[in-house]
Structure 1
Amino acid sequence: MDLISPKERLFRTLDKKETDRKPIICPGGMMNAAVVDVMTKCGHLLPKAHSDDTLMAQLSKDVSDETGFENYGLPFCMTVEAEVLGSEIDFGSLECEPKIKKEVFPHVSEVDYKDINKMLKEGRIETITNAAYKLSKNSDVPVIGSLTGPISTADSIVDPMTFLKELRKDKENANKVTDYVTDFLIEYAKQLIESGADVISIADPTATGEILGPKMFGEYAVKYLNKLIDAIHETGTRVILHICGNMKKVDNYIPLIHMDAISTDAMVNLSLLKEKYPQLTTMGNLSTYLLESGDREHVIKATERLLAKNIDIIAPACGLSTSSPIENLQAFTRRVKEK
């Protein structure tokens, strides 16, 4: 029998305090566990749940109840911010997550800077904050509100290839755009927190060493992630950050980011990262390919290896495929809870 609640366990871990065992979570957003098996079993379906707060809350609870992940995560995609900021969205289907159909601006110099307070009333923001409020009534399970990070949000409103070039060629406007979207993300995060989100999770898949390179990672990613995280911390809320890809080129920057836990892709050796930077709280990083395509026994053995490495928070490495079988997710979470 567990000695403490899932919320308290996660809080203690993020605060570097002792717990009875490792938390196991899947935050939502890019790391979304609303797989087809869960939806068809429980009857609360996407894409309708993207825009219905009652369905969104029910599906988030279904995911936790059916998979064993110890949190409620929302939303179920990474397009909320881009939609509000003006990009065209394809809302997908039961099997396919939403994606950006067309970015709204061709260049950083052409971005239209809208009133942030007005934007907070647009798109699906109210749907998500209402769902967070409904989920927060269960005080034992942490509600995790997921954001798309500043660099990824910026390149979701400006043509991505152009944006990446203009980080170097038009730094003035690139910084202006990234600062603008960071201000928007700060206010969106505050609304999530006011509505009941216990933890904010940020995923910034464009902000990698492989895409940006070390210099741009330090100049842009670290700067704007810290601006966002520091503002969230001012509310007293903890922050998890997910960085995709191989971090070897930029791992010296990771301790400079102010997050409470770092989540990584499966290719990253978290035990070596923690050995190098013992102050880090590590999260991850079971292969989502294994969770989708492997068998139950291989999932259990891989989970045991993570536990043996003393990773602080156990979680999937990155975005789960919607076709991941529920039996694999249950085997994963059950093994962690067996300690």
Structure 2
Amino acid sequence: MNLKENLENALSGEDVEVKPVISVTQAGIIEAMEQTNASWPEAHTNPEQMAILGSSLHELAGLECARIPFGLTVEAQSMGAEVNLGNNERTPEVTGTPFESADDIEAPDDFLENGRIPVVLEAIDILKEKYEDLPIIVGITGPFTLTGHLLGIENVVRYMKTDPDEIEIAMENCLDASMDYIESIQKHDADVICVNEPTASPELIDPLQFKSMIKPNLEDLADFIDVQKVLHICGSTQPIISDMSSVGFDGISIEEAVDIPKAKESIEDECVIVGNISTSKTLLSGTPEDVKEDVKKVLSEDIDIIAPSCGLAPKTPLANVKALVEARNEYFNI
């Protein structure tokens, strides 16, 4: 089976004989770090280690993609924010920002050469040279989440209520930077781009605000992306499934809080569902048999692409990731 063609067909909504098993979200785990000698925080700044760790779950567990980078701070750091790279149990986080208002937000002239963007681009090249038919998935930060990184999420939540124009200006400025980054990712021939908007979850943002303020920027982003694309939003996204599906992405990535049959009923445009095996309850804390049970359940509900519901926790057992593929193989009698 050509893994790249299989995923391409699945994301295009075509019938496939075997549903792909991938991760569109963070895919670095400690067991893989130990077995490959590629670990955090070095794998955040070293392109060779990023490529090795990003493809480690393909090599060790049969996952049908490589996925880089590991976290959502690449753009913020390249725009001038301070970032703590964490350790092998914690992904990078923004710890400081030079921006005080929306008008201040502007990508520096060396944005694409700054921070870790060059590391991601070189890691794509390494992976493309090594794998002929393995899909390379690159995660980026959505404009609203990036705005939260640059202004502070507390300020963003306050502005959403008191000065929404401030947020719209900030998102437009972030959108320009995102498009520059996307253009470079596409020049390096990544196969799929996953736009991560965790801050746009209905648990944090009213669905009406998502529709009026966040969706238009995601539509612009979707129009700009030329390769296949997936939108990931955390949490119980059932109230915004129709809006997520009509943004213009090939797929939407959902968490286990979303009921797949109900989600399929809410989809407006041609869009497939990616997910939604629990990263906390099942993949982190469960057994391989728990994983298999959940995989077979979502397959019975006609999930289009099997994937973790969110970024993998670093302490996720490798055996549980293997069980994702094993369950799919058992279901399809491979």
TM-score normalised by L of structure 1: 0.93
Which sits farther off after the overlay, 215-224 or 242-251?
242-251
Question: Runs of 5+ in structure 2 lacking a partner?
Answer: none
**8 A Cα contact 1:37 1:326, kept in partner:** yes
Q: CA deviation at 1:127?
A: 0.7
Distance 1:194 1:98 in 2: 26
Distance 1:276 1:159 in 2: 32
Secondary structure of 2:67's partner? Answer: strand
Which sits farther off after the overlay, 10-19 or 124-133?
10-19
Distance 2:105 2:143 in 1: 17
Q: 1:123 aligns with which of 95, 115, 125?
A: 115
Q: CA deviation at 1:71?
A: 0.6
**8 A Cα contact 2:107 2:177, kept in partner:** no
Match in the other structure for 1:241: 231
Q: CA deviation at 1:70?
A: 0.6
**Deviation >4 Å, runs of 4+:** none
Match in the other structure for 1:334: 326
Match in the other structure for 1:261: 251
**8 A Cα contact 2:140 2:193, kept in partner:** yes
1:169 paired to 2:166: no
Q: Deviation digits for residues 99-118 of structure 1, max 9, x if unmatched?
A: 11123334435x24244x52
Secondary structure of 2:113's partner? Answer: coil
Secondary structure of 1:250's partner? Answer: helix
Aligned counterparts, 1:1-339, within 5 A: 4-27=1-24, 31-109=25-103, 111-115=104-108, 117-137=109-129, 138-232=131-225, 235=226, 237-277=227-267, 279-289=270-280, 290-338=282-330, 339=332
**8 A Cα contact 1:199 1:238, kept in partner:** yes
Distance 2:63 2:307 in 1: 9
**8 A Cα contact 1:12 1:18, kept in partner:** yes
Q: CA deviation at 1:282?
A: 0.5
**8 A Cα contact 1:74 1:144, kept in partner:** yes
TM-score normalised by L of structure 2: 0.94
What's the % identity of the aligned pairs?
28
**8 A Cα contact 1:108 1:166, kept in partner:** no
**8 A Cα contact 1:108 1:163, kept in partner:** no
Which sits farther off after the overlay, 164-173 or 201-210?
164-173
Q: Do the aligned partners of residues 199 and 33 (structure 1) sit closer, same or farther apart at CA in structure 2, a change above 3 Å counting?
A: same
Q: CA deviation at 1:14?
A: 1.1
Secondary structure of 1:244's partner? Answer: coil
Count of aligned residue pairs for this structure pair: 328
Q: Over aligned residues, Cα RMSD in angstroms?
A: 1.5
**8 A Cα contact 1:107 1:162, kept in partner:** no
Distance 2:180 2:223 in 1: 13
**8 A Cα contact 1:106 1:162, kept in partner:** no
Secondary structure of 1:175's partner? Answer: helix
Q: Do the aligned partners of residues 94 and 255 (structure 1) sit closer, same or farther apart at CA in structure 2, a change above 3 Å counting?
A: closer
Secondary structure of 1:323's partner? Answer: coil
Distance 1:254 1:198 in 2: 21
Question: Runs of 5+ in structure 1 lacking a partner?
Answer: none
